[in-house]
Structure 1
Amino acid sequence: MIKGDLYKEVSAKILRKRREKGISQLDLANKCNVSQAWIQKIESGNRKIPLDFIYKLSFYLDCAVSDLIPDRKKDSGDGQFR
């Protein structure tokens, strides 16, 4: 998996989980103390997501951190992130 693909997949999982929970970008942004634009950039894959922020998102999305991280088993097998 290429590093950019990793961020895209994490972004897609965050977007999917937020929609699943029925939370707007604005509501999530307010809970996380960031702007709606910042959430939008994360969900579109245009911003790298700090690890501590993934933990914060998992709290407000009421899910496990592992729900927001791609499963390594689906990786290409080389274990490398470029």
Structure 2
Amino acid sequence: MDLVHPDDHQRAISSWMDLLTVPSGEARRVRLRHLHRDGRAIWFEITNHSFLGAPDHPHVLGEMLDITDEMAAEEALRAGSPRRCR
């Protein structure tokens, strides 16, 4: 939780608690901001795959995709200012 933006702590906790209730093999996705060591926020789309029911090795497999540029573009659209894509 030290890496998660304080405003997203509850969303991160709720997402994790939800993951603990799903059957093994299912996944849950959440978008959260993480804090870079320089203090700026980086948006990630996190997909956690539950393998907690695996008899030999219960685990969660997480995938993180940096969506910072996508979220900035969406915010620019909401604000009404066009932004050029890279």
Q: TM-score range by the shorter chain?
A: under 0.3
Per the normalisation by structure 1, the TM-score is: 0.24
Per the normalisation by structure 2, the TM-score is: 0.23
Rg (Cα) greater in structure? 2
Higher helix proportion (structure 1 or 2): 1
Higher strand proportion (structure 1 or 2): 2
